[in-house]
Amino acid sequence: MRAARLHEYTHDMGDALEIDEVDRPTATGTDVVVEVEGAGWCQTDNHVIEGMWEEYVPQELPLTLGHENAGTVVETGESVSVVEEGDRVICHPVMTCGTCRSCRLGEDMYCENVQFPGLTHDGGFAEYLLTNERAVIPLPGEVDPAEIAPHADAGITAYHAVKKAAAELNPGDTAVIIGVGGLGHIGVQCLDAMSAADIVALDLKASARELALDLGARHALNPASDDVAAEVDAVSDGAGAQQIIDFVGADETTGLGPEIGAPGGDHHVVGYGGHVHEPAQTLVDGEFAYRGTLVGKYTELQELVALVDRGDVELHTSRYDLAEVNRVAELLEAGEIDGRAVIVP
């Protein structure tokens, strides 16, 4: 089968992955083999190519990338009971053991024996993907696997952050979403569906701000030209933003938190690459907090699929052939992809 594989770390996205012929995986035990019909391209894929994840997770090159996967089950191991051949599924991005304490607590991302296709094991930029039955979620109705694939990471990550924020929001509160790109446009919809807060969206691109307003934001600001702190102050009647969800994670965006956050508020860091440069007193004064976001739980992906099925959340996607992976990497690096890119092997 064909697979797009990383042979060495590089910052040259135009020549990052090679299309190789590799053996198709087979299933034993609780394994599930999925014929990939859609694999979302994520900014994390660019970071993997650059070697940013090498010091955080074990990686052996060459490696097939792709951790946002959906398709049709074509083979199952003898112990699988959740799905059968012919079922259309979306795959939670990690394969978990189910027996460690974290798994018993339902904290999938903390599994002591976690395997992460596309990061630690071969992923879905290929014709077939090997996963396990703890990762697959059957798709309802007429949901298109290629259309929903990015929800396996982008969607569940946005949903996970929004769910934490929504639990702290009351009707009429102000919530700020920073970045209305591939994750942020999902976050706006999830927050609109799950809370009665007034959503303020920040983005440098006019098209992204217009999209945010279409998807449920009440206000959209350009942080390059608008006085964000003054505008949020006016919108919130001086209270500030009770919750901030940062899908960018740059130094400039994490630095906004103390300027616009309300006492007791949270700044959820979803995007990464920057740093948090704040004195400790900033966190003590008003009990302001930074909170990290690492993908989400299996059950949260089920909940997100339910929102998609009822029409509350829609993805804006563009599709590309497997041979175009390096072009997609370049486009994403240049910020030229609105919504999510999906590789269709």
State residue 282's pLDDT score: 86
Q: Is the CB of residue 131 less than 8 Å from the CB of residue 95?
A: yes
**% of residues, the chain, pLDDT over 70:** 100
State residue 337's pLDDT score: 83
Q: Class assignment of domain 2-153+296-344?
A: alpha beta
DSSP-derived secondary structure for 118-186: TTTB--SSBSEEEEETTTEEEPPTT--HHHHGGGGTHHHHHHHHHHHHHTT--TT-EEEEE--STTHHH
Instruction: Single out the residue of 145, 125, 129, 127 nearest to residue 137, CA to CA.
Output: 145
From CA 76, how far away is CA 33, in angstroms rounded?
6
Confidence of residue 330 (pLDDT cuts 50, 70, 90): very high
Read off the pLDDT of residues 149-173 as tens digits, 9 standing for 90 and up: 999 999 999 999 999 999 999 999 9
Question: Is residue 338 pLDDT above 80, yes or no?
Answer: no
**Where exactly are the structural domains of the chain?**
2-153+296-344, 157-292
Q: What is the mean pLDDT of residues 99-118?
A: 94
Read off the pLDDT of residues 219-230 as tens digits, 9 standing for 90 and up: 999 999 999 999
**Tokens at residue 216, please?**
């449920």
Read off the pLDDT of residues 200-249 as tens digits, 9 standing for 90 and up: 999 999 999 999 999 999 999 999 999 999 999 999 999 999 999 999 99
Three-state SS for 42?
Answer: coil
State residue 285's pLDDT score: 86
Other beta carbons less than 10 A from residue 323's beta carbon: 12
Three-state SS for 15?
Answer: helix
State residue 182's pLDDT score: 86
**CA angle in degrees (0–180, nearest 5) for 137-142-145:** 50
From CA 47, how far away is CA 249, in angstroms rounded?
14
| Domain spanning 157-292: CATH superfamily | NAD(P)-binding Rossmann-like Domain (3.40.50.720)
Q: Is the CB of residue 49 less than 8 Å from the CB of residue 10?
A: yes
Torsion angle (degrees, nearest 10) of CA 296, 301, 307, 310 = 170
